[in-house]
Amino acid sequence: MPWLGFVPMRSSPIDSTYQMIKEMEVRGAGRIARAAVMALKEYCDSSRFSSTKEFYRNLFAAGEKLKSARPTAVSLPNSVNYVLAAAKRNEARNASLRETIRAIDEACDSFVASSLKATKMIGSYGARRIQDGDVVLTHCNSEAVTAILTAAHEAGKKFEVFATETRPRFQGRITASVLARRGLNVSLIPDSAVRVYMRKVDTVLVGADAIAANGAVINKIGTSQVALVAHETRARFFVAAETYKLSATTMLGELVEIEHRSPYEVVPRAWLKANSRVKVKNPSFDVTPPEYIDLIITERGIYPPQGIVFLMKELYAEPLVGIE
């Protein structure tokens, strides 16, 4: 438990988690969200504060720092805000530091537990949409997607999976390796081979970093290209996402920021030095319009993209009141 004393605060859980998220040692929208709340919990439990005022000031600063680690996955601000809301409620009623930290601990644990439960539920809802003999294509690495594919496999369904490599960071290798270890029939393909294989594909299944009020899905770069090809061959296009990936501020017309990462993820430093007149672009995410999406599978049920705004209003109307 923390204690009041004149000892400088230790912010290392925040700094180290910030770095791990920024450098993608922790990646994927769900994992990022859970790592951020666990960092807040550890920070509160292990730090020392000279006053309650200092505690709140440092906690809110820690939350802002975590939120700034990566800009696109809305799961990150949503998870941090969920925890900070518990702190704010306790601040408003002048609760003791001990009580406040207990409330924060509970909020962190409850976020993590409901995140894991949501992934499991998405797995079981989504698995019902996979039939014997299906061919499924996925892009990048999404826990929500692998939960569905694993649940379908465990239910005894026989189907084949294509996983794209997902350049430049090759998250598709993680997907292929996880699925193969779980006994699924999976092939890894270059991103550029999507159109070659799409003719065989019945269902495309991807995760999401953010979902906008109009049902557009922001996910790993290349997702919208995959959606376009799926549209051409009339393959179904499903998105699997926990509801903390809904971006409430898009109801107010705000756009989701797309992260642009270092050119050195695309080419080696030496190459760029030798070709210094070449500009290298590395957007990390793109936007798939609702017209290319058939269904969004959440732990609250399955929605057409045009229906997602109603779920968003139900879940996030209240916090929006406080948005400046």
Give catalytic residues, as residue numbers.
140, 209
Q: Nearest distance from residue 212's CB to ligand RUB, in Å?
A: 15
Of the residues 47, 100, 115, 171, which one makes contact with ligand RUB according to CB under 6 A: 171
The interface region with ligand RUB, picked from 100-108, 141-149, 150-158, 189-197 by CB under 6 A, is 141-149
Cα 175 from Cα 139, distance rounded (Å): 9
Sign for the pseudo-dihedral over CA of 55, 56, 57, 61: positive
Residue 63 interacts with ligand RUB (CB under 6 A): yes or no: no
Q: How many residues bind ligand RUB (CB under 6 A)?
A: 16
Binding mask 187-206 for ligand RUB (x = CB under 6 A): --------------------
Residue 30 interacts with ligand RUB (CB under 6 A): yes or no: yes
Q: What residues numbered 89-118 form the site for ligand RUB, per CB under 6 A?
A: none
Cα 275 from Cα 148, distance rounded (Å): 44
Number of Cβ atoms within 10 Å of the Cβ of 298: 27
Residue 209 interacts with ligand RUB (CB under 6 A): yes or no: yes
Of the residues 13, 17, 18, 27, which one makes contact with ligand RUB according to CB under 6 A: 27
Q: Which of 294, 293, 31 is nearest to 143 (CA)?
A: 31
Q: What residues numbered 282-301 form the site for ligand RUB, per CB under 6 A?
A: 284
Q: Nearest distance from residue 121's CB to ligand RUB, in Å?
A: 13
Residue 26 interacts with ligand RUB (CB under 6 A): yes or no: no
Query: In 104-113, which positions are buried (b, 16+ CB within 10 angstroms) versus exposed (e)?
Result: bbebbeebbe
Q: Residue 155, Cα to own-chain centre: how many angstroms?
A: 26
Asked if residues 266 and 85 have their Cβ atoms less than 8 Å apart, the reply is no
Nearer to ligand RUB by C-beta: 17 or 171? 171
The interface region with ligand RUB, picked from 6-14, 25-33, 154-162, 288-296 by CB under 6 A, is 25-33
Phi and psi (nearest 5°) for 293?
Answer: -115, 130
Q: Which of 114, 6, 122, 100 is nearest to 44 (CA)?
A: 100
Of the residues 220, 222, 247, 297, which one makes contact with ligand RUB according to CB under 6 A: 220
Q: Which of 227, 145, 236, 229 is nearest to 186 (CA)?
A: 145
Nearer to ligand RUB by C-beta: 265 or 318? 265
Cα 106 from Cα 89, distance rounded (Å): 13
Tokens 């699925």 correspond to what residue? 179
Q: Nearest distance from residue 311's CB to ligand RUB, in Å?
A: 17
Residue 28 interacts with ligand RUB (CB under 6 A): yes or no: yes
Cα 185 from Cα 170, distance rounded (Å): 19
Of the residues 84, 140, 204, 230, which one makes contact with ligand RUB according to CB under 6 A: 140
Nearer to ligand RUB by C-beta: 47 or 72? 72
CA 124 to each of CA 49, 113, 129, 176, 202: distance values in angstroms, whole numbers, following the listed order: 44, 17, 9, 20, 19
Nearer to ligand RUB by C-beta: 59 or 226? 226
Nearer to ligand RUB by C-beta: 2 or 290? 290
Cα 138 from Cα 136, distance rounded (Å): 7
Residue 163 interacts with ligand RUB (CB under 6 A): yes or no: no
Asked if residues 126 and 12 have their Cβ atoms less than 8 Å apart, the reply is no
Residue number with the shortest CB distance to ligand RUB?
Answer: 207
List of residues contacting ligand RUB (CB under 6 A):
27-30, 73, 140, 142-144, 171, 207-209, 219-220, 284
